[in-house]
Structure 1
């Protein structure tokens, strides 16, 4: 394959990092999807990006469907490659965008999964707080439910981001966008217990580590580490099934709306760029209210 193909990818990745300010996680997805298309080009003996035509895009789509990729995955790949070729057109590296006419398959409309209040109580009850790690795990669970922040955001909180006097935390979200989120007394007490009675023991002499949540070696607790902690919590609770971190985020939003919070406030707390991203929770809330009615009304 022509060396210019790899150079084009390098330029695009720099564009995502510098101009778009995308996270490393997002950039890795772009890199993977574009590399996958390069492999397809090699299979089809297409040596240059300029030679990619709409017919080739259709073949690529057929290949993805034959390999049983989910519609959501196909949509992501097409969106990624459309952006890639749009960049190439802008830089005058190709004359047109063969992905411009490719239709992105509509994803299945699934309502976000969330925990009912009794289920959250069961999760909190499953947290033991006698050990150092138990205190840390309780603080993580309380903070995620209290703020609705993403797990990746939680893992990057530093001590200086936490204001215990005002009970707020500075969160560094997608695209380095920052927002302050308040938290309640339960999260405050759990954090206080963790910081005073557990965190200093986890540091293991590594006093220079400023991250709030630490692993047992005293290093930064990663997003993957938090996911493992949450899965272990549900295993020790009375709940069945697997917990995924976004369920706590969905639960946070659903419970706020169900108890009368306005959508703009929830949007701000979640760090959503568009209100449409938050509006999905109104459907969840409506279903939540319907089930509550059907369960408790004597003539339902």
Structure 2
């Protein structure tokens, strides 16, 4: 099993150095493949990965299904296993790829939760601009809704990525891909006020910190830190819907499409490699339209 784990380390190194995948994606690969290796070594009692046959992978996926894992989780595990075995074959560690005829389970696509435009407006107006915390929180929310960037992208932004005079933000997304996203006037104003009046009060460190959004220690805000702020502001705003860190991103995309934006333009702003990922928001728009029709049409 130690040899298998060493081969997994080589694969993870390949994903980091050559593929340049995002940290969370790499952690996901590692987590999936550790459970896979443990299964083939201990349950199937295989001495090495070259002994894996298609049937053992089928057994592993069936084992996950028996544990109540969703089809989305099964599809992710399948993709991880396939990439791993392709790597092992390419590196001549194994002499065959047992995953080649394994079909990926079709994940159930759940529609993302979005806020109405009125709810977004209420949330954006919630931060009190009486201190540097309020200025920061206002700037973060306005920026998220104005650009649709991911929370992981938000917390990694540096001051140099914001171009207020030109009205755009430079963002490094998944796979280290850069994209330029326009900023609206409201977001520009909130960012300018935070950078000039709020951020200097956070920047307590003797060492220069380039990260845009800071916590009370003068260090970069974490994903967990942002999530706590969002939950508190949503409670203050009286929003009853279940929120996730991506709620404003989902709302950004849905509201753009509802107001006639081009799907390709939304795809580019979101940083989706595949337009089918963006198309989920057209389903959200249609579902919301149906709800409005059912609620207000006299013969619905």
Shorter-normalised TM range: over 0.9
1: CA distance, partners of 2:268 / 2:65? 37
Match of 1:268 in 2: 268
SS at match of 1:180: strand
**Offset of residue 21 of structure 1:** 1.1
2: CA distance, partners of 1:155 / 1:273? 22
Work out whether residues 162 and 170 of structure 1, in 8 Å CA contact, stay in contact via their aligned partners in 2. yes
**Offset of residue 58 of structure 1:** 2.1
Match of 1:9 in 2: 8
2: CA distance, partners of 1:67 / 1:288? 34
Count of matched residue pairs: 299
1: CA distance, partners of 2:194 / 2:242? 26
Are 2:67 and 1:67 equivalent residues in the alignment?
A: yes
Work out whether residues 136 and 194 of structure 2, in 8 Å CA contact, stay in contact via their aligned partners in 1. yes
Once the two structures are overlaid, the 10-residue window that deviates more, 249-258 or 54-63, is 54-63
Are 2:183 and 1:183 equivalent residues in the alignment?
A: yes
Q: Structure 1 length normalisation: TM-score?
A: 0.94
1: CA distance, partners of 2:96 / 2:224? 40
Cα-Cα RMSD: 1.6
Match of 1:39 in 2: 38
Deviations 1:248-268 (A, max 9, x none): 111111111111111111111
Work out whether residues 71 and 106 of structure 1, in 8 Å CA contact, stay in contact via their aligned partners in 2. yes
Match of 2:160 in 1: 160
Match of 1:22 in 2: 21
SS at match of 1:226: helix
SS at match of 1:104: coil
2: CA distance, partners of 1:242 / 1:289? 20
**Offset of residue 13 of structure 1:** 1.2
SS at match of 2:243: coil
1: CA distance, partners of 2:71 / 2:286? 27
Work out whether residues 158 and 212 of structure 1, in 8 Å CA contact, stay in contact via their aligned partners in 2. yes
SS at match of 2:19: coil
Structure 1 residues without counterparts, runs of 5 or longer: none
Q: Structure 2 length normalisation: TM-score?
A: 0.94
1: CA distance, partners of 2:293 / 2:78? 42
Work out whether residues 135 and 194 of structure 2, in 8 Å CA contact, stay in contact via their aligned partners in 1. yes
SS at match of 2:170: strand
**Offset of residue 106 of structure 1:** 1.6
Match of 1:234 in 2: 234
Match of 1:213 in 2: 213
Structure 2 residues without counterparts, runs of 5 or longer: none
Are 2:132 and 1:132 equivalent residues in the alignment?
A: yes
